[in-house]
Amino acid sequence: MAGGRACGKATILTLMNLDLLKGWKARLLDYRTSGDATGDKTGGVVGDASAAFHELEGGPAADGAAPGYSREEKRFLMELARRAAQEAVRNGNLPPIDEQTVPVRLREKKGCFVTLTQGGALRGCIGHILPLAPLFRAVMENARSAALHDSRFEPVRASELAGLEFEISVLTEPRPLEFSSPEDLLNKLRPRQDGVVLKVGGRASTFLPQVWEQLPRREEFLNRLAMKAGGAPGDWRKPGAAVSIYQVVAFKEADS
């Protein structure tokens, strides 16, 4: 800071913007002034600070954020998802599992999605928004459905199984987002933090928070969400449109 001005202003503003977008937490590491080195603090001094920015375990910080899961719990779910997809593709069934071998936290009812990609391209994504089943069971069922029943794709073939990459998203329970106008809605949405459920004209659709990576502009995000529900791009602006938001803990095989 010189003469009340910050050196590297553009860099600082960029970091602050990233902090807001990604929901990072800041932690001050140290703060010193030139007076600490010279011992003379009677005149002007130059101040320097160092800070660390980080995400909470499991994803961006947010009110009502889902709790993180241990590496062992993630590995258990990921292995279960892969086994379920393999069995479903090969014989249409889910693998047997003794519930007593399932970690206690993974028996809690949770909404979840299982996403399949192949070479970076989406190959299937199916899930439950609401906590309808124990998490381990929801992961198995959604892995099977993502492999065989995503209407956007042909069913996964056995020859593709080895090349599939899995991602599991565990959801908080959606809560209504109050807004007074379309512009107010745009201002209240948090890119990369909020999953969004849009209900309009008797139809509903959702995008996980990860979709913000492909659609970072709020208006385009909602336009595409309205189209996913079978409507026109601007239907989210219509009177009666309702929005709920949720957060996720998302992890891939590399994280487990």
Q: Are 149 and 199 found together in one domain?
A: no
Give the per-residue pLDDT at 20: 43
In this structure, the number of other CB atoms found within 10 A of the CB of residue 104 comes to 7
Number of domains in the chain: 3
DSSP state of 27: E
- Could you tell me if 185 and 163 lie in one domain? no
Residue 254 is predicted with a pLDDT of: 75
Residue 150 banded pLDDT, cuts 50, 70, 90: very high
Q: What does residue 121 show for φ and ψ, rounded to 5 degrees?
A: -100, 140
Look at residue 59 and tell me if it is in a domain: no
CATH number, position 197:
3.30.1490.150
- Domain annotation covers residue 140: yes
Range of the domain at 22: 9-54
* pLDDT above 90: residue 255: no
Q: Specify the pTM.
A: 0.71
Question: Would 4 be classed as within a structural domain?
Answer: no
Are 223 and 238 members of one domain?
Answer: yes
Per-residue pLDDT reduced to its tens digit, 27-60: 555 567 766 667 666 666 676 777 666 554 434 4
197: how many CB neighbours lie within 10 A of its CB? 22
Contact yes or no for 116/124 (Cβ under 8 A) = yes
Q: Which two tokens stand for residue 184?
A: 């107010």
